[in-house]
Amino acid sequence: MSRVKTNNTDHAYFRAAERCGWGKKKAREMMKLASRYGTAPGNLSDGPIKDFLAARQDFTPRRVKLYQGYVFIFCSTSTRCITVYPLPDELKKITN
């Protein structure tokens, strides 16, 4: 099995540890899965979660993905994760 080198930012790993409690290995796996399987704002039906994610995409060229209750922000031209944080509690209630 070949290994694909990821080039996620140090900031992304720091925030994953701080905000999500993940070690580097778990963070790397979640970033990879979010990049591949995460839901983009354009694939959500209209509502507060779509609005929340779309607002994070407006100002700079980047891709925002929702995956397992976490928001991942990626570089617009690659799978490089810039930062991650949990979906706010009031929006998590909507998804459950």
Decide if 71 is inside a domain: yes
Decide if 1 is inside a domain: no
Decide if 84 is inside a domain: yes
Decide if 55 is inside a domain: yes
d(CA 56, CA 11): 17
Q: Which stretches of the chain drop beneath a pLDDT of 50?
A: 1-2
pLDDT of res. 81: 94
Decide if 4 is inside a domain: no
Decide if 21 is inside a domain: yes
d(CA 63, CA 80): 10
Range of the domain at 62: 10-95
As a whole number, the mean pLDDT across the chain is 87
Query: pTM for the whole thing?
Result: 0.86
> What's the total number of domains in the chain?
1
pLDDT of res. 32: 95
